[in-house]
Copies of this chain bind each other. A is one copy, B any other.
Amino acid sequence: MLVHGQHYRTIWENENGSGAVHIIDQCQLPHRFEIATLTTVAEAAEAIRGMRVRGAGLIGATAAYGMALAAREFGGDPAALAGAASMLTATRPTAVNLAWAVNRQLAAIAGAAEPAARIAIAWQTARGIADEDAAWCRLIGRHGLALIEQISREKGGAPVNVLTHCNAGWLAFVDYGSATAPIYAAHDVGIAVHVWVDETRPRSQGAKLTAWELGGHGVPHTLIADNTGGHLMQHGMVDLVIVGTDRTTRTGDVANKIGTYLKALAAMDNGVPFYVALPSSSFDWEMRDGLRGIPIEQRGGDEVKHADGWVDGRVVEVLVAPAATPAANYGFDVTPARLVTGFITERGCCAANEEAIIGLFPERA
């Protein structure tokens, strides 16, 4: 998408043949737009762990490039590549794209006998995963556009109000985003759309990333505290909720940023459609019970006690609570399939149950 009028993806290879991989350092947004460089698998792992890159698709693409960096770094050595795979997989527990990308790399590399071929295949696979991620998100946009178009028609062209939580935007993928792809697609064809952006404490990805990228693309939006969505839905101010997911079971249970479940409850209580946009790489085809099965990352309580932002030309972290207060920080929650109106995937939309999901992806039957 566009940044200062120039097209960017969130991850790309150095064009001068240095073999480095570049990322947008998302820890600096929205205050500074900085490009960072990854030259080793350890740097790729650290970028994921430190959330300089984050979001389901981008974590997968970064892990794929991490494997490519490892292949060159260790001369295609299989044992070293297995170690790199473990290191990358351990960085974050919830997003299924991470293991998906690493396993795809391992399978691809295993097909080559020679070290040089393994290196070449690892880079080719990383490129393929990144390109596929962007292509899938573009298709999600096309399929989701139909939902927004219909609501727009029903409202006689008045702005369609979409609520989203966290950042499932182009910054969370390689391009376009999942939850945002239908929004960008609608905006680009001239449909009036307005986005309620949950700030998404404690890391404020909505305030920092979603607001930034929607603003950059010119999509009307309003930032709200995470507490606000229920009130808006009670008063008819939300036409549609679209969120992303870090992992969705084959039965339709959705792990996403903590707080998503609360918005799904409010949507159900007020008859507001609640959609989850995801590429098929975010499905966990092995899992049936999301509430019991999906591991929920716990991060440090300091993220809850603090807030960081811009003041006097720099980023400052302030302590909001008493210094001695204990805090807990669960990163995700699971929205049961019964609260989900439907999924928007690269192959089209479907209801949130196993039969409908497998109907779109029959090869997973």
Contacts from A to B (Cβ < 8 Å): 30, 197, 199-202, 204, 207-208, 211-212, 215, 221-232, 234, 257-259, 261-263, 265-266, 269, 291, 296, 301, 304-311, 315-322, 324-330, 332-334
A306 to chain B, nearest CB (A): 7
A221 to chain B, nearest CB (A): 7
Q: Which chain B positions have C-beta within 8 A of A334?
A: 231, 234
Q: Are A320 and B261 in contact (CB under 8 A)?
A: no
Q: Which chain B positions have C-beta within 8 A of A232?
A: 330
Q: Which chain B positions have C-beta within 8 A of A202?
A: 225
Q: Are B30 and A322 in contact (CB under 8 A)?
A: yes
- Which of B224, B266, B311 sits near A265, CB closer than 8 Å? B266
A319 touching B309 in the complex, CB below 8 Å, given contacts A226-B226, A265-B266: yes
Q: How far is the CA of A296 from the CA of B235 in the complex (A)?
A: 12
Q: Are A320 and B204 in contact (CB under 8 A)?
A: yes
Q: How far is the CA of A327 from the CA of B307 in the complex (A)?
A: 18
Chain B residue nearest in CB terms to A264 = B230
Q: How many copies does the complex hold?
A: 2
Chain B residue nearest in CB terms to A339 = B269
A285 to chain B, nearest CB (A): 23
Q: Which chain B positions have C-beta within 8 A of A296?
A: 231
Q: Are A225 and B322 in contact (CB under 8 A)?
A: no
A222 touching B327 in the complex, CB below 8 Å, given contacts A227-B262, A265-B269: yes
A326 touching B291 in the complex, CB below 8 Å, given contacts A207-B321, A262-B262: no
Q: Are B221 and A333 in contact (CB under 8 A)?
A: no
A67 to chain B, nearest CB (A): 32
Q: How far is the CA of A229 from the CA of B211 in the complex (A)?
A: 25
Q: List 21 A-B contacts (CB under 8 A).
A: A30-B321, A199-B321, A200-B227, A201-B201, A201-B225, A207-B320, A211-B322, A221-B326, A223-B321, A225-B259, A228-B259, A230-B259, A230-B261, A231-B261, A231-B332, A262-B262, A265-B266, A307-B307, A307-B318, A311-B319, A318-B318
